[in-house]
Homo-oligomer: A and B are copies of this chain.
Amino acid sequence: MLYRSRMPYFSEAEYAERVRRVRERMAAHGYDLLVSVDPSNMHYLTGYDGWSFYTPQCVVVPLDGDVLLATRFMDVGGARVTTRLGDDDILGFPDRYVQARGKHPFDWVGAQLAGRGHGHGTVAVETDAYFHSPRAQAALEAAMPDARFTDSAELVNWVRAVKSDAEITLMRDAGRIAEVVMQTALDTIRPGVRQCDAVAAILAAQARGVDGMGGDYTSFMPMLPTGDGAATPHLTWTDAPFVSGEATIIETGAARLRYHCPLARTLHLGPPPRLLSDTAEIVREGLDAALATVRPGVRCEQIEAAWREVITRHGLEKESRIGYSIGIGYPPDWGEHTMSLRPGDTSEIAENMAFHMILGMWMGGWGYEISESFVVTANGADCLTHLPRNLHVVD
């Protein structure tokens, strides 16, 4: 659906419900205060959205009292525009704290929290979130000497795992954009076309969106391992041209108002080697089997086991997890850092969860990758995109 404002997309009631669910878990753990530094969690709790996470910032949830947001003074305006927080609840640290020797923004933030009566009791902090650092943590602890600090253990991330219907709508919108983005990539990569030009087409398609609905930036840059490089994931691009007789892994996706639909396919220029097309068929069989396992009540590891059964039967192995929960994302990751589809993860799948199932096979000198993003419904996995699940061959 169209949405052209910078104001929070969701209703006031929805944000209130999110905070209520967070406080419910806080109370169960005996936390008096939660300090959330992950930009995705901050966005989830308040709607805050800006490229300001290169300086320290946080959303603070007390068990009782107003939710606060602390950021650099120049980003206070952005917080007023993109959240419904009261002006008194947005704290801006002075610019002299930014990337300065001998002081840290969280010296100031911690002092503010203590001054507002939050300096006592148990304070849970997201100690493994992106953009939180050991130095930031030390500053916070020093500024709140009477508080007892503990690790939040991704408390907010776990609350995010089950989406509202309104969130699922945005993920479906992201899926519609992701289909166009992938089709653009498949139509653009040809012998002689430079990798950077394919990326230009992909990035433009991500931003343009579909049917009047623009796209947001995704948490990952498009990754295009090609030729020898396809033997390893996470390589971006060069300005070398694509070459006939080589495979390219396209790992990309789309975002709508920070909600993501990741998507991967592999393309081969010219007739593919038998080993690659055979692998693609096995992987497809494994993908179908794993997706067919998805239903509320199933455990993450059971989904992976269905995949593993297929590839083992065909003599293949894969060490890494085959998926993870998704939703809101900011660079550098669109995963929620909660559930992984892998042995030992006994988390139970529930309705309105969402996952990216990604099957990357990196062999000696070559690779193959395909993925589907899906929502869990009462009937099973409902994929966000509907492209063929085969190796894409360009004759």
Contact = CB atoms under 8 A, between A and B. Distances in A.
A127 B127 CA distance: 13
A333 interface: yes
A332 B72 CA distance: 15
Contacts of A320: 73-74, 95, 98
Contact of A130 (B131, B206, B360): B131
B214 A208 contact: no
Interface string A225-254: 000110111111111100000000000000
Contacts of A194: 214
A99 interface: yes
Interface stretch (A15-23, A47-55, A283-291): A47-55
Chain copies in complex: 2
A195 B5 CA distance: 12
A119 interface: no
A128 B132 contact: no
Contact of A233 (B75, B80, B203, B216): B75
Nearest to A226: B6
A8 interface: no
Interface stretch (A160-168, A263-271, A305-313, A334-342): A334-342
B6 A332 contact: no
B128 A319 contact: no
Contact of A208 (B51, B52, B197): B197
B229 A212 contact: no
Contact of A239 (B134, B151, B209, B220): B209
Contacts of A209: 196, 239
B199 A73 contact: no
A95 B323 CA distance: 12
A389 interface: no
B220 A51 contact: yes
Contact of A125 (B95, B134, B200, B238): B134
A200 B196 contact: no
A74 B196 contact: no
A134 B127 contact: yes
Contacts of A217: 221, 236
Nearest to A218: B221
A342 B98 CA distance: 11
A234 B82 CA distance: 12
Contact of A151 (B125, B135, B201, B232): B135
Interface in A142-157: 151, 153
A137 interface: yes
Contacts of A216: 236
